[in-house]
Amino acid sequence: MDKIAHTIATELDLNEQYVQNVITLLDEGNTVPFIARYRKEMHGTMDDQTIRALADRLEYLRGLEARKAEVIKTISDRGQLTPELEEQILAASTLAEVEDLYRPFKQKRRTRATVAKEKGLEPLAQVLFEQAADCPVPLKEAEKYIDPEKGVNTAEEALAGAGDIIAEWISDDAAIRKFLREFYMKYAAITSVAAKKNPEDTVYRNYYDFNSPVAKVAGHQVLAMNRGEKEEVLKIAVEINREMVIELIARRTVKKPMCASSMFIRECTADAYDRLIAPAIEREVRGELTDAASEGAIGQFALNLRPLLMQPPVKGFVTMGLDPGYRMGCKVAVVDGTGKVLDTAVVYPTYGERQKQECIQKLSLLIRKHKVRHIAIGNGTASRETEQMTVELIASLGKDAGVSYVIVNEAGASVYSASKLAAEEFPEYDVNLRSAVSIARRLQDPLAELVKIDPKSIGVGQYQHDMPEKRLSQTLNGVVEDCVNAVGVDVNTASAPLLARVSGLNASVAGSIVKYREANGMFSSRKQLLKVKGLGNKAFEQCAGFLRVPESGEVLDNTAVHPESYEAAEKLLAICGYTMAEVKAQQIGKLKERVANYGEEKAAAACGVGVPTLRDVVTELMKPGRDPRDELPAPVLRTDVLDIKDLKKGMELKGTVRNVIDFGAFVDIGVHQDGLVHISKICDRFIRHPSEVLSVGDVVTVWVLDADEKKGRISLTMRRPNDEN
C-alpha cells in the first residue's frame, strides 16, 4: 500500500484501501463530483468535501516528497550527505522540517559567520564548541589564530569571529528550530498596540491594547491585526520570556557547564537567539497563524457559499429586478419565467416625492403589462429608499395583485454586468441594466446566475481580499463545481458558464455544446452529446450523469442515473414489476418497499451494481427530474418594510441568515441593515463556531436586543428573551 495513502488514511480517519482507490481515480483524470457520485463502492460513500480534502492533502504530501528528493540530491551532489541526514530528511513530516534540515547546506548571502570563516576562524569555533575534555580557555585559545594578514589583529577579534560562526551553527540546528517553533506556538503571546500615541476611533479599536496567547488567538483576530498592521494603524509583536528560551537553548548547546568555555557558548547562544533565531521564529509563528486563519476563513467562505448557491429557486414567475442607485437612478428589468428579458426601464425614486410617485406609476404599468409576481431588490446603495418605494408600490396595486418582494444579495452583480460575458449575453443593454437583469435572475435561479460571477466577488466571507489568491479560488471553484453537479444542468437551456462548471467540461467544450445546440436544435438524448466537437468518451463519462435532457424519449436521460447504470435500472424495474412508462408517469410509489422486500444486497447483485449505486438509482427513479433545492426552505417574500426606529427591544421577527462569520451571524430582518446575532446568543449550549448551528439562507426566528439608529447597528438574539437570564 502506498505510504502517502497510509498517511492520509491515518490523518483523515479513513479506510486505507478507499483512500488508495480515490488516489487512483484522481490520477486517472476523474473529477471529484464524478468520483463522489458514481464511484461510491470504491470509496465507501465519501462526500465531495471529504474527497477534496483528500486531494488537497495528496497534493501537499506529493510536493513534500518531491522537495525531499530535491534536497537529498542537492546535498548528495555536494558530497555532504550522510546516512543519518538522509534518514532525518525522509522522516520529516512537514516542509518546514525539510527546510530546517537543508538550512546549513543552503547557499547563504555573505554573513558575519562567512567573513569569520574566510579569516580561518572555523577551527577555533570547532574547538570551543566541542567543549572537549581539556576544555581550553576561549581567549587563550584565540591567541593562536591572530593573523594580521587575514584581518585578525587581536585574540578578542578572533574570539568574536568564532562566536559568529558558533551562533550561526546554533541558528542552523534543525532540532533547535523545531523545538522553538513548537515552544512558541504553546507559550508565546501575540500583542497589538496602536501605531500612534493618540489613535483615532477606527474599526481596529479592539486591538489598540490587545494580548492573547498564540495558542488561543482566534483566526479573525489574526486577520484583523494583519490588516491593521498593513494599514499602519497597529503594531504587532510576538512575545515570550527571553531568559527562559535562552536557557532552554543553552541546555542543548552547553555540554559541560563547568567547562572554561561554557560561559562563552552561553553568550553565543544568546547572540544566536537575539540576532538570528528570534526574528525568524516570530515570522514563522505569525506565518503559521496567518496560514491557519486564512484556511479557516477560506473554509468558512466555502461553507457560506454552498448554501447561498443552493438557495431554492423561485421558478416560473415573471420577475422584476431593481438595481437601486442615487445619481444614476434605479435600473429596472422584467424577465419572464425562463429569465428572458421582457422590458427595461430607469426610474428615479430617490430624487423627490414627485419622482417617486412617477416611479410607482411607471412600475405599476410594467407589473400589470407583464403580470409580474415577484420583485427582486439589490441590497446595495439606495436599497432602503427603493424598498420603501416598493412597499408603497405593492400597496397601491392592492392585495389581489399578489405581488411580493425579496431583498437579494447583489454582491458581484456589478462585476458581472461589466464583464465580457455580460456584454456577449446582453449586447443591446448598458452595464447598469445588465445588473438589474442579473438581480432578477438571482431570485429565479441563484445557482445559474451566480456561476457567472467570480466566487470571490460574492460577499459571504470575511477578509477574502487578504486570502492567498490561488488557494481561495481553488476552494471556491470547487464549491461551485460541487453545487452545480449536485443539482444537475439542463443541457438545452443552460448557459455556457453554467455548462463549464459541469464535471468533465471546460469553457471550450461548454461553448461547443451551445454552438451545437444553436445549429442543430435541442438535444434529444444524452448520447447526442458525443457529436459535440471536443467532447470525447472520457469527457462524456465524466459529464453525462450531471446533464439532464428533459426532451429525451429516454426517461433516465432526465435523471442523475449515469448511462453506465441504465441497464441496472431497467433490471431493477423488472425485478420489482415496474416499467419505464410507469416511471415516466411517476406510478412507482412502492419501489423502495419492493426493493426492501426483495433485499437490497440481492437486488444489487442481480443488477450488477453495488448497494450505494442501487440506492441512488432508486431515489432517481422515484423522482425523475427532481431538483434537490426544492426540498429546502423557500426565501422569505415580503410585502411590508420595517425601519430601524420601528424596532423595539424584545420584538420577535423572522429573518434570513445572510452571512456566517467567526463571531456570529448577520440576519436580514427586513430592515435596511442586517442585524448581528453574536455567537453567545445563537443557542443555549456552547458552540465553537456559528456554522455548527447556522448556514447562509437559513430562515430563523430572532428577538431584538438593541437597535442603535445613529450607528446603524442592530443586535439580535436567537434565544428567547425569557431564556436570556
Handedness of CA 534, 537, 543, 545 (dihedral sign): positive
Residue 378 has pLDDT above 90, yes or no: no
For 543-555, the pLDDT digits (tens) are: 999 999 999 999 9
Residue 654 or 265, more confident: 265
Q: Which of 416, 437, 460 is the last residue of a domain?
A: 460
**Confidence class for position 125, pLDDT limits 50, 70, 90:** very high
Q: How far, in Å, CA of 297 to CA of 472, rounded? A: 9
pLDDT recorded at residue 485: 94
Q: Over 70: is that where the pLDDT of 297 sits?
A: yes
Q: Is 61 part of any domain? A: yes
Q: What is the per-residue pLDDT across 81-109, written as a single tens digit (0 to 9) for each? A: 999 999 999 999 999 999 999 999 887 78
For 558-586, what is the mean pLDDT?
93
The domain spanning residue 24 has which CATH number?
Answer: 1.10.10.650
Phi-psi region at 225: left, alpha or beta (left = phi > 0; alpha = psi -120 to 50): alpha
- Asked whether residue 11 is assigned to any structural domain, the reply reads yes
CA distance 147 to 121: 10
The answer, yes or no, to whether residue 34 has pLDDT greater than 70, is yes
DSSP assignment letter at 629: G
Q: State which residues form the domain around 42.
A: 3-75
Residue 432 has pLDDT above 90, yes or no: no
* Number of domains, the chain: 3
Measured from the Cβ of residue 106, the count of other Cβ atoms closer than 10 Å reads: 11
**Residue 208 pLDDT more than 90?**
yes
Tell me, yes or no, whether 179 lies in a domain.
Answer: no
Helix (H) or strand (E) holding 21: helix 16-27
CATH of the domain at 675: 2.40.50.140
Is the Cα torsion angle 245, 248, 253, 257 positive or negative in sign? positive
Q: What are phi and psi of 319, to 5 degrees?
A: -130, 140
Under 8 Å between Cβ of 588 and 582:
yes
Distances (CA, A) of 678 to 93, 646, 647, 670, 675: 39, 22, 18, 19, 10
Q: What do you get for the CA distance between the two ends of the chain, in Å?
A: 57
| DSSP per-residue letters across 527-586 | GGGGGSTT--HHHHHHHGGGEE-TT-SSGGGGSS--GGGHHHHHHHHHHTT--HHHHHTT
Confidence of residue 387 (pLDDT cuts 50, 70, 90): confident
Q: Give the model's pLDDT for residue 636.
A: 65
CA–CA dist 584, 622 (Å, integer): 10
* Reported confidence tier of residue 318, pLDDT bands at 50, 70, 90: very high
Q: Which of 218, 224, 228, 236 is nearest to 296 (CA)?
A: 218
Flag whether 674 is in a domain. Answer: yes
- Residue 657 CA to residue 373 CA, distance in Å, equals 24
What are 172-182's pLDDT values in tens digits?
A: 999 999 999 99
Tell which residue, 672, 661, 663, 674, has the closest CA to residue 700: 674
Tell me, what's the pLDDT at 639?
Answer: 63
Single residue among 460, 480, 514 that ends a domain in this structure: 460
Check the CA dihedral 414-416-418-423 and report its sign: negative
In a domain, 613, yes or no: no
Task: For residues 409 and 697, give the distance between their C-alpha atoms in angstroms, rounded to a whole number.
Answer: 11
Mean pLDDT, the chain, rounded, equals: 90
Q: Residue 642: its pLDDT value, please?
A: 64
250 vs 647, higher pLDDT: 250
Task: Please check whether residue 213 lies inside any domain of the structure.
Answer: no
* CA distances from residue 264 to 131, 180, 488 in whole angstroms, order as listed: 11, 22, 72
Q: Where would I find the beta strands (DSSP E) of 253-309?
A: none
Flag whether pLDDT at 132 surpasses 80.
no
- Split at pLDDT 50, 70, 90, the class of 641 is low
Over residues 268-282, mean pLDDT: 95
Q: Which of 75, 91, 114 is the last residue of a domain?
A: 75
pLDDT tens, residue by residue, 580-638: 988 888 889 899 999 999 999 999 999 999 999 999 999 999 988 788 887 766 666 66
Q: Residue 273 — pLDDT band, cuts 50, 70, 90?
A: very high
Residue 83 lies in a domain: no
The pLDDT confidence band at residue 221, using thresholds 50, 70 and 90, is very high
pLDDT tens digits for range 671-698: 767 899 999 999 888 898 898 888 887 8
**340 phi, psi to nearest 5 deg:** -75, 135
**How many residues are recorded in the chain?**
725
Mean pLDDT, range 124-150, rounded to an integer: 89
Please check the confidence at residue 725 and state whether its pLDDT lies above 60: no
CATH number, residue 331:
3.30.420.140
For residue 92, the model assigns a pLDDT of: 93
What is the predicted pLDDT for the residue at 33? 95
The pLDDT assigned to 260 comes to 83
Cell numbers found for residue 415: 462585476
Mean pLDDT along residues 398-409: 86
Residue 459 has pLDDT above 80, yes or no: no
DSSP class of 273: I
How far apart (Å, rounded) are the C-alpha atoms in residues 319 and 298?
Answer: 33
Domain-located, residue 335: yes
